[in-house]
Structure 1
Amino acid sequence: MMITQAYKICTNCVMDTSSPDISFDKNGVCNYCFSYLNKIRNNFNIRVKNLELEKIIKKIKSHSLKKKKKYDCLIGISGGLDSSYLVYYVVEKLGLKPLLFHVDAGWNSSISANNIEKLVDKLNLDLITKVINWNDMRDLHLAYFKSGVPSLDTIQDHAFFGAMYKYVEENNFKFILTGANFATEFIRAPLDWAYHASDTKQIKDIHNKFGERQIKFFPYYDIFRSRIYLRILKGVKMYHPLNYINYDKKNSIKTLKEKFGWQEYVQKHHESRFTAFFENYWSLKRFGHDRRKLSYSAMILSGQMKREEALNKIKEEPISNLELKKEISFVCNKLDISKSEFEEFFNLRKKSFRDYKSNYFIINFFTKVLNTLNIEKRIF
């Protein structure tokens, strides 16, 4: 007989028992909070971090000068806050000359396109845009709808990183800078919410079971190739500059608005219309996974949001019913499916990543090793 855990919410952040990985101490404080305290707060000294960042930038510039490179590094840009602020910071504050790399997987919002254009124009940067074959994207998306798994955004995420890693490998870039950060993203979605998007074995298994056409152009890039071949054997380094500064969301938005006329989004990651649909509706309503709790809790831990404010926000619907209907209609039209097909997908039996082939045990082993060595700091 299955025992259902009684509902409980952390007394310090807003993570709760909707996460199967959560645990609490006697005061009701969760393991996410203690992990942040031990891995981040106790080890963060702004002066030390600034010096570490200076050394990284010096190494990047020295390599570019020695190899006579046109660009110092590559930055993947989505038009969202984190990647946009990163571009501004490394160009204006650190003096780097990056090449910007954007992946168009078919779901760009008009705001994201405008935000990228403003940064490129005003900072006089070069931009490469990789457009993913839509027939491949559509068939993979629909296979994931039919599979019943929660991680419906896997295909989009894999396209982003797969295309970028392929470009880095083909063009011999040695340095990748990313806007991923602890201040707003320390808490990752539990694996039961979002399985590793880099596990090509699972993507191919789900497509083999539910796909309808041969995939010809999708940028598959396995996690082992990115972690072992690219980073270890090829020596490609990935850095997270926002983790070396006092990265503040509100101040970053203000700066981007004043300097570039940058436009803000309703929620984090909503530069993609598919992500907006997925987080505001599919993940929340079909599976009960409120992803706002992840970013709000991270911001509580980094001192950028009060717990009371976060609690009030998650009581509200993320977007209005009218906007939600528009997003659902957009997704149906884009994927060329009827509303009845959409409803059939929504009502399918819920499944887990464990129901399909994967490299879970190998990835899980390496993840634990990285966490033990304190190389990987965010919670998986």
Structure 2
Amino acid sequence: MKTQVCSKCILDTTVPEIFFDEQGVCNYCKINDEIMKQYPAKEEGKKLLDDIVKKIKRKGKGKKYDCIVGVSGGTDSTYTLHFVKQLGLRPLAVHFDNGWNSEIAVKNIKNATNKLGIDLYTLVADWEEFKDLQVAFLKSSTPDAEVPTDYAIISVLLKVAAKENIKYIIEGQASRAEGTTPLGWTYHDGRYLRNVQKKYGKKKSKSFPILSLFHLIYYFFVRRVKLVRPLEYIDYSKEMARKLNKEELGWEDPGGHHHESIFTKFFQSYYLNEKFHIDKRKRECSAKIRSGNMTREEALEEVSHPYPVEDGIVDYTKNKLELSDEDFDAIMKAPNKSFLDYKTYYPLIQLLRNPIKIACYLNIFPHIFYLKYGVDHSKKIKSYWTEFNRNRVK
């Protein structure tokens, strides 16, 4: 397939649903422009963030905690804990342990919560259950093998929020630092997880929740839990966050974006690149270009080199998941698919996109939700993987 690169960032036609305007600027740069309008920085952003903090404090009055922060031991979640504490909030830190934590991640979480005086709640998944779900997603042959963790995390956060009667979940995402993950690279919902598990798994997930759409409606519209991204309102950069984390919290760098998880390190450095030709550095570098923290030439130079793969990590992952060489080889050679090959809520999301737009306007969902899912990309994604598989056979 001929590759076209955005004239503004470095996202290219390895993003299945990408398209370009007459100046060669991609749709994700346009999405970023809309996000920046919703989340201004500097004085305007400070005022908006101050208003949000006041609401959180008011809703949390008389409670032990007024918000929840998900923690992983990585750059963003560690900095978010510190930032939320600086804002005068009383967070409960929540961690989902899926069995893949690095030693650095465990130490980072402990150091941060201890030094900041923040209580930590950890939900430990049953390893056999979670392993079964991860293997099922590898066998699904989609680029969504990290989805079991991503979806379980938000499910756990919502469940704890409802149990503790906490109305706000603080997310550590920052569009200025890492951009928006393309839909064709990552998609998740509860119906998708259960369908893949049913097709390729052998167990049911009982130790951690897989929330249905109705559960989500309950949490967001009945319990009125809201997701808030405070880092969107400041001039956030990972370099600044790493510096503060090290100086204030005794934090150690795990060596890459989300590499605090051993599986994520395998997934991003080897699996995505080798099987799907997806390099997530393009998303992160593109965000830095848009925010002025990297030149386009510097970004192109960075991604011109292969994503570094840690020695032994592929064998370690295969052994931990109990995959034989033959099993793993079959996974890597299987025709690539997407979430559209499975039962998901995506068609329903498209049907309800106008109510979703209203929910985003009312700040029930982050605005990025509508910007990402408000356009139906089914045809482009299906066409992309059909052509990809055809060319691979040649």
Q: TM-score normalised to the size of structure 1?
A: 0.90
Aligned to 2:20: 24
Show the counterpart of 1:56.
Answer: 52
Q: Distance in 2 between matches of 1:254 and 1:354?
A: 41
Partner Cα separation in structure 2 for residue 13 and residue 141 of structure 1: 32
The code of the aligned residue for 1:18 comes to T
State the distance in 2 between where 1:205 and 1:248 align. Answer: 37
Match of 1:268 in 2: 257
Deviations, residues 107-150 of structure 1 (Å, cap 9, x unaligned):
11111111111111111111011101111101111111222222
Q: Which of 329, 332, 335 is the aligned partner of 1:349?
A: 335
SS in 1 for 2:244: helix
Q: 2: CA distance between counterparts of 1:204 and 1:175? A: 27
The number of aligned residues is: 366
Distance 2:351 2:238 in 1: 33
1:34 to 19, 30, 34: 30
Q: What percentage of residue pairs aligned between the two structures are identical?
A: 36
Per-residue deviation, 1:94? 0.9
Query: CA contact under 8 A between 1:279 and 1:291: conserved in structure 2?
Result: yes
Residue 229 of structure 2 aligns with which residue? 240
Q: Which residue of 2 aligns with 1:121?
A: 114
| Residues 1:293 and 2:282 aligned together | yes
Q: Residue 318 of structure 2 aligns with which residue?
A: 332
Structure 1 residues 43 and 331 mapped into 2: Cα distance closer, same or farther (>3 Å)? Answer: closer
Q: Deviations over 1:22-74 (max 9, x none)?
A: 12223222222223224415872521221121122122222333xx2111211
Q: Could you say if the C-alpha distance between residues 63 and 215 of structure 1 is closer, same or farther in structure 2, counting changes exceeding 3 Å? A: closer
2:203 maps to what in 1? 213
Distance 1:244 1:20, change over 3 A: same
1:377 aligns with 2:375: no
Q: Does the 8 Å CA contact 1:150/1:287 hold for their aligned counterparts?
A: yes
**Which piece of structure 1 moves more, 112-121 or 17-26?**
17-26
The offset of 1:293, in angstroms, is 0.9
Report the CA distance shift for 1:329/1:122 in structure 2 as closer, same or farther (over 3 A).
same
Cα distance in 2, alignment partners of residues 373 and 123 from structure 1:
34
* SS class of match (1:362): helix
Which runs of structure 2 are paired with 1:243-262 in the superposition (5 Å)? 243-262=232-251
Report the equivalent of 2:190: 200
Q: Secondary structure at the match of 1:129?
A: strand
RMSD of the alignment, in Å? Answer: 2.0
Give 1:364 shift.
Answer: 3.0
Q: CA deviation at 1:88?
A: 0.5
Q: Is the Cα contact below 8 Å between 2:152 and 2:208 reproduced in 1? A: yes
SS in 2 for 1:207: helix
Instruction: Give TM-score scaled by structure 2 length.
Output: 0.87
Q: Which residue of 1 aligns with 2:212?
A: 222
Q: Using the TM superposition, give the Cα deviation of residue 310 of structure 1 relative to its aligned residue in structure 2, in angstroms.
A: 1.1
Deviation string 1:309-355 (CA, Å, 9 cap, x unpaired) is 111111112224xx1x4211221121122223211211122222222
Q: Which residue of 2 aligns with 1:14?
A: 10
* Pick aligned residue for 2:153 from 150, 160, 163: 160
Q: Structure 2 vs 1, CA of residues 256 and 173 (structure 1 numbering), >3 Å: closer, same or farther?
A: same
Contact 1:165–1:221 (CA under 8 A) maintained in structure 2: no
How far apart are the structure 2 equivalents of 1:73 and 1:301?
Answer: 31
1:131 corresponding residue in structure 2:
124
Change (3 A) 1:284 1:371: farther
- Equivalent residue, structure 2, for 1:304: 293
Unaligned 5+ runs, structure 2: 362-366, 373-394
Matched, 1:109 2:105: no
